[in-house]
């Protein structure tokens, strides 16, 4: 001090650091996942993507993030971008209507986050298009043919006699099969069952008799498939039909018998050997 006594005084000095924009926005997860249902309208919500910026949020616009889509998916028919993003919230919505999962099941977008100083970070939005039951089922054949032996009395075959297949471009199907009994004689002698793999099988549920004049030429009837339970039979968008032809094969299931239970024959004592007496 001025008196030369060597006294010392102290005070506190506070130094406040002023933030500079030295951190670019980043997407910690790298890839973000969302989904949207097909055939939706414009503006449907898809997902929200968020970036972070370690700069001071109270220091100007250093940490204020603006979102944009750098690499968008483009609709082929119109050339328009398929998705839109809110620049302030990062909410992604559809920019066109009627996405078709059967045509394009998923999309990948490159999202850019830009802070107030122009620093940028990129992330990926992976979008899956969710399926709707909007595709009809189709039998893989218009007509199915099977040849089967007649039954031995009332003993019915345990195994199916025919398996049919169906195509449907929807992601998930719950095929239901049945026989149209009014479509042909003898259709009630068969039944359709659903297999675990989605195919359908034809089974014999009543005796088949080759010797029956009504059955000797076999059977022809229609079968039906729907792609879910509770579908109306007249709904052409979810129903398909096909024909089944069943040919009967004869088996040795009848004992021989004489046409006449009693026959008489006469011969003369001098008839030659080998002469036919009766037939």
* 167-217 per-position pLDDT tens digit: 999 999 999 999 999 999 999 999 999 999 999 999 999 999 999 999 999
Q: Taking phi first (over 0 means left), then psi (-120 to 50 degrees means alpha), and beta for anything else, what does residue 187 get?
A: alpha
pLDDT of residue 99: 96
pLDDT of residue 54: 84
pLDDT of residue 145 exceeding 80: yes
What distances in angstroms separate CA 41 from CA 45, 82, 170, one per listed residue? 10, 12, 20
Instruction: Please state the pTM of the whole predicted model.
Output: 0.73
Beta strands in 95-206 (DSSP E): 106-114, 120-130, 138-139, 143-149, 162-164, 166-167, 176-180, 190-194, 200-204
pLDDT of residue 236 exceeding 90: no
pLDDT of residue 18: 75
Which of the four pLDDT bands, split at 50, 70 and 90, describes residue 92?
A: very high
pLDDT of residue 166 exceeding 60: yes
Looking at every residue in the chain, the average pLDDT score rounds to 91
Domains of the chain with CATH codes? 31-130 (2.60.40.60), 138-249 (2.60.40.60)
Instruction: Give the number of other Cβ atoms within 10 Å of residue 128's Cβ.
Output: 14
């Amino acid at each position: 001090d001025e008196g030369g006594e060597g006294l010392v005084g102290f005070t506190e000095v506070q130094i406040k650091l002023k933030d500079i924009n030295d951190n670019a926005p980043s997407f910690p997860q790298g890839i973000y996942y969302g989904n949207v249902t097909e055939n939706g309208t414009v503006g449907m919500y898809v997902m929200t993507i968020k970036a972070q910026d370690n700069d001071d949020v109270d220091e100007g616009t250093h940490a204020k993030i603006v979102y944009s889509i750098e690499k968008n998916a483009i609709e082929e028919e119109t050339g328009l971008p398929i998705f839109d993003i809110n620049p302030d919230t990062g909410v992604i919505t559809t920019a066109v209507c009627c996405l078709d999962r059967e045509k394009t099941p998923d999309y990948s977008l490159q999202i850019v986050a830009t802070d107030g100083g122009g620093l940028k970070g990129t992330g990926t939005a992976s979008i899956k298009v969710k399926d709707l039951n909007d595709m009809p089922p189709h039998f893989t054949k218009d007509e199915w043919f099977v040849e089967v032996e007649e039954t031995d009395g009332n003993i019915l075959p345990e195994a199916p006699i025919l398996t049919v297949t169906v195509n449907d471009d929807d992601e998930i199907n719950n095929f239901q099969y049945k026989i149209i009994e009014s479509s042909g004689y003898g259709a009630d002698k068969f039944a359709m069952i659903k297999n675990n793999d989605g195919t359908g099988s034809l089974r014999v549920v009543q005796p088949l008799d080759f010797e029956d004049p009504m059955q000797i030429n076999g059977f022809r009837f229609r079968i039906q498939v729907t792609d879910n339970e509770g579908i109306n039979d007249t709904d052409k968008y979810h129903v398909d039909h096909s024909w089944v032809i069943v040919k009967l094969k004869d088996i040795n299931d009848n004992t021989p018998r004489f046409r006449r239970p009693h026959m008489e024959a006469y011969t003369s004592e001098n008839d030659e050997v080998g002469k036919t007496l009766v037939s």
